[in-house]
Amino acid sequence: MSADEWWRGAAIYQIYPRSFLDANGDGVGDLPGVTERLPYVSSLGVDGIWLSPFFTSPMADFGYDIADYRNVDPIFGTLADFDRLLARAHELGLKVIIDQVYAHTSDRHAWFAESRASRDNPKADWYVWADARPDGSPPNNWQSVFHGPCWTWDARRGQYYLHNFLAAQPNLHVHHPAVQKALLDTARFWLDRGVDGFRLDAINFAMHDPSLLDNPPVAPGFGKRTRPFDFQHHFHNQSHPDVPRFLERVRALLDERGGRFAVAEVGGEQADREMKDYTAGGTRLHSAYGFNFLYADAATPALVHETMALWPGGEGEGWPSWAFSNHDAPRVATRWLGGRDRDALARQMLLLLVALRGNIFLYQGEELGLPQAEVPYERLQDPEAIANWPLTQGRDGARTPMPWASGAPYAGFSTAEPWLPVDPAHAALAVDGQEADAGSILHLTRRLLRLRRERSALRLGALRPVDAPEPLLAFERGEGAERLLCVFNLGEEAASFPLDGWQVIERVGEGLGPCTGLVAERA
């Protein structure tokens, strides 16, 4: 593996800056707080960090509504603070990946202010505008992810504008060459500062079908229906076939610099196809991740085998990335718990994540075994959670402050009341207590990441399923003489599996009881 391919098989730690560490005592995490804790992140044994948005924003969607792509929001610090963070990360041997949100901006962005001013200004076509139907209703039936139609009326232009998320997040017209140039210039700005790559947020929403055809309804019983968004197939408001052409321009820009990396976030019912499409050959993105695990209700052998089978490693195939938890999904220690022991499940899932083929993303607090936090309705911040209460868990429970010190106010996150409450269950799992306990999940995380780093079969090797009776999951990693056997009990009863000719080199739990797993090499 060349130095430029440092990302292949990498373990990347996701930092949600609002909730990592508050260095200035205002209750919100910031970039100096991230910098202060980078030695801790480095001690885990990860290859790099992914920073969720810290750009100038009115925070309608907590940074994913960007008002200035090239500046830091004052709540997080300054550009100088970012430069110090980047320099310190590089001193510690950590790569730095930042979010790029190309599908939409904030409605406070200067581009949108100009675009909405008239139908004939220089940026009039930088966003997606459409006339009303004869009866004044929106141009079509498209529904937004959060709630209600994808269209909002703007009296300045006498037209509707498209937004796949909040009305405060108007969609950019990424078909437009000038918009593509502006986005690529933004990427250059951050590459020139020294970042090592990008995570492209919701990139399959970046281009729509210009014919504005209605989306077809889904059949009764097709998935859960908690929002209007769930009632239709999203064939026309996203997933346009020209998206990969734009991604080729992004990749070309990255290749000019050498050693840079880009991963796409791809959600939705077409995600499996799009992940492959967006990473095919050597001219598109390096990797992509979907929500195969993030939105799954349970971990089953079928889920893992079917997901891994999508990426067999054929000629011209891209490279996958996987996450079990992030800022958009309920934490895995709660989501997949069932009737099992939470501590044991958290350990098992760490070993399973480390054993998968592809890059892995570890979300802050996952190394502590944090469960989904309880956030009372009156403290909710997430617009999706508020709009769909109580049918969805929302995202706030995965975004609460990182617990650093169990006995300190607000678990050491801040000296002031945090923007989201600290769950007492999290304070009990704080970093300081786990550092002092050699048997903690934190120390296990370091050991497992070291194993992945030292064994190329885990970092780079092929994955081959092995027959095992459910609820056992078994597969081999690597090829030829360098093969490792991975076995997990995903059920709630004890099981057995023959290990003749294999010697266990790592395990979580005793035997093959519930929430156990092992990695073995040829004896």
Active-site positions read 201, 256
- Say whether 507 sits in a helix, a strand or coil: strand
Beta strands in 240-289 (DSSP E): 261-265, 287-289
CA atoms of 100 and 98, how far apart (whole Å) = 7
| Angle of helix 177-193 versus helix 79-91 axis, rounded to 10 | 60
Judge contact between 93 and 42, C-beta under 8 A: yes
CA atoms of 409 and 486, how far apart (whole Å) = 42
What one-character-per-residue DSSP string does 205-260 give? Answer: GS---TT-PPPPBPPTTSS--SSGGGGB--SSSS--TTHHHHHHHHHHHHHHHSS-
CA atoms of 384 and 295, how far apart (whole Å) = 15
Structure tokens at 436: 């002092």
Judge contact between 80 and 180, C-beta under 8 A: no
CA atoms of 323 and 304, how far apart (whole Å) = 12
Judge contact between 133 and 139, C-beta under 8 A: yes
CA atoms of 53 and 31, how far apart (whole Å) = 11
Instruction: Identify which of 282, 287, 402, 260 has the alpha carbon closest to the alpha carbon of residue 356.
Output: 287
Judge contact between 331 and 423, C-beta under 8 A: no
CA atoms of 259 and 251, how far apart (whole Å) = 11
∠ at Cα 284 (280, 285), nearest 5°?
A: 100
Structure tokens at 471: 């609820």
- Say whether 257 sits in a helix, a strand or coil: helix
CA atoms of 168 and 104, how far apart (whole Å) = 9
For 49, which DSSP code? E
CA atoms of 54 and 98, how far apart (whole Å) = 9
Phi, then psi, of 130 in degrees rounded to 5: -150, 150
CA atoms of 446 and 308, how far apart (whole Å) = 25
CA atoms of 309 and 164, how far apart (whole Å) = 31
CA atoms of 147 and 128, how far apart (whole Å) = 19
CA atoms of 299 and 322, how far apart (whole Å) = 14
